[in-house]
Structure 1
Amino acid sequence: MKKIFSIVMAAAMLLSVLALAGCGGSKAPAPTTDNKDDSSATTELKTVVAGKLTMSTNAAFPPYEMTDDSGKIIGIDAEIAEAIAKKLGLELQIDDMDFDAALKATQDGKSDMVMAGVTINEDRQLVMDFSDTYATGVQSIIVKEDSPIASAADLANAQKIGTQRGTTGYIYCSATTENGGFGEDHVVAYDDGIAAVQALMNGQVDAVVIDNAPAKAFVEKNPGLKILDIEYVTEDYAIGFAKNNTALKDAVNKALKDLIEDGTVQSIIDKYIPAEAE
């Protein structure tokens, strides 16, 4: 009796195993597909906010970044960033703050990248990584129309030079005389270019050193000012990333390369800086 019972149980177990095997076989493709999905998910870009490309900036740097009448951030950098985000399948989020804070937000991983007319220099390369360049900027000198300052060398005679805090204009001017600057005692750093130009209008500084594109915008809105017909320094703009954020930098670089090659970047620049105005 035990033997017969054992045979019956063994048969029942065999049928169960076969039934399970049959079910497994009919669903075999599903685990394979899931594994592929998991694999692709690991290659997706990791951003500060899932599904978004967060850009820190200082929206007081026309025409690269500024606000329109509705408060929306617009400009060359904003539109290029929007095009990059679209290429990456992400939604662009722009956070406005002081220039120094914008750089630090990216360094500290609070934003994915910084675009604010940022140029590459040795000090920044120690704490950040950068994309390929996408535009060229010129440091210009703004003075009052009746100013005796007529050249970069004349800045040595200025009591005070206004700049935007953290920018290359500040770095160049505040450097020691041995390094081509005028010394920190002769330079005043402001939170943005607007404040620096206002200080010039009020007689608190004798000149302002800032990028040429915003310099033109400021002079147009403030009668009595002019830009010296010289190029103080020429430099290239790039996108900044946290150190060693290689995956994001490479992805942005690829998107940026495509946008440069298909003419998108130049068309955005031309929209804000017409060729005849350069």
Structure 2
Amino acid sequence: MKFPSTFILSLLATVALAADLGGREISVGSDTTYPPFEFVDETGTIVGFDVDLVNAICERIGCVARFESTAWDGIFPALAAGEFDMVASGVSITPERAEVVEFSEPYHVVTQAITVRVADADLTFDDLVADEGRVFGAQTGTTNAFFAEDAFGRDRLNLYDTFSQAVQALLNGDVDGVVIDSVPADAFAAEYAGSLVVDIRGLGEDPLGLVFPIGSDLVDAFNEGLAEIEADGTLEALKLRWFVAED
């Protein structure tokens, strides 16, 4: 079969424009206390949805990801200082953050949720707001913490370095609920089934993106790879693998 010369030129141009980082190693900063997005398994390996996401993109664009555990507090200054090439850590895309970093296109949208002890499973959001004796937990510097402060007031909010610590505080009775994204909320509720439940959902939507320093040459390449894994079904398969189906 013969093809018009214009088609061949177009095809060659498309191939030429395809991202290829030539096997480049990419260091990825991640707060690895945030299942199922990123966490350390029993073998000491960093695993999770974001890990598989970045690795799948790297397969398409010719790079090798090396994940590094880092604390959430200070993760963006560390990125700007060049401690790693990018961040993959379930990061919500916000206008304020977009002033100091560059984001990929969104790869998932989460809603904010509140996890409580099973004894409080029937309480509504209005119940939680009205009961001024109830205290809530969230991870410092997150959109969840900002939402919780607006909803309940700073004096009813305990901030923690990690969501794992906030969830442990809930189990210990130190707080009455944890404001957290819906996906990790479901993961923690599954881990502590019979003790915790996701009581409130849909408190606002947050698109998640991969994060790069301003001016990074990786943004376009990762957006291209992200588009590829979305088009071929890989992205959806990763969500089915890692995310607990909501009730």
The alpha-carbon deviation at position 244 of structure 1 amounts to 2.4
Distance 1:225 1:148, change over 3 A: closer
Aligned to 2:147: 172
Partner residue of 1:235 out of 195, 206, 210: 206
Partner amino acid, structure 2, of 1:120: I
Q: Counterparts of 2:25 and 2:127 in 1: how far apart (Å)?
A: 47
1:99-130, CA deviations, whole angstroms, 9 ceiling, x for partnerless residues? 22333322322211111111111221121111
TM-score where L is the length of structure 1: 0.75
**Rounded Cα–Cα distance in structure 2 between residues aligned with 1:127 and 1:56:** 16
Answer yes or no: is 1:97 the counterpart of 2:85. Answer: no
Please say if residues 144 and 201 of structure 1, whose CA atoms lie closer than 8 Å, have aligned partners that are also in contact.
Answer: yes
SS class of match (1:244) = coil
Instruction: Name the SS of the counterpart of 1:143 in structure 2.
Output: strand
**Counterpart code for 1:271:** R
Stretches of 4+ aligned residues off by more than 3 angstroms: 43-46
User: How far does residue 229 in structure 1 lie from its aligned partner after superposition?
Assistant: 4.5
| Residue 51 (structure 1) shift | 2.8
Aligned-partner Cα distance in 1 for 2:201–2:63: 41
SS at match of 1:188: strand
Does residue 225 in structure 1 map to residue 190 in structure 2? no
Query: How much is the aligned-residue C-alpha RMSD, in angstroms?
Result: 2.4
Which consecutive unaligned segments of at least 5 residues does structure 2 have?
A: 1-18
The AA in structure 1 aligned to 2:92 is: T
Alignment TM-score, normalising by the size of structure 2: 0.83
Asked if the contact 1:155/1:161 (under 8 Å) is kept, the reply is no
Specify which of 73, 82, 85 is matched with residue 46 of structure 2: 73
Q: Give the 3 Å change call, closer, same or farther, for CA 107–185 of structure 1 in structure 2.
A: farther
SS of the equivalent of 1:218 reads helix
More strand by percentage: 2
Considering only CA atoms, is the larger Rg found in Structure 1 or Structure 2?
1
Residue 121 (str. 1) matches residue 91 (str. 2): no
Which consecutive residues of structure 1, in runs of 5 or more, have no partner in the other structure?
1-42, 176-180
Q: Partners in 2 of 1:94 and 1:183 — Cα distance?
A: 36
1:151 paired residue number:
124
Of 262, 267, 272, the residue aligned with 2:237 is: 267
Percent of pairs with identical residues: 30
CA distance in 1, matches of 2:200, 2:154: 25
Distance 1:151 1:114 in 2: 35
Name the structure 1 match of 2:15. Answer: none
Q: Provide, for residues 120-148 of structure 1, a one-character-per-residue CA deviation record: whole Å limited to 9, x for no partner.
A: 11221121111100112121101112238
Q: Is the 8 A contact 1:77 1:115 kept in 2?
A: yes
Return the offset for 1:225.
1.7
Is 1:87 aligned to residue 60 of structure 2? yes
Paired amino acid for 2:227: K
Kindly provide the CA deviation profile for residues 23-50 of structure 1, in whole angstroms up to 9, marking residues without a partner as x.
xxxxxxxxxxxxxxxxxxxx9869xxx9
Distance 1:254 1:225 in 2: 39
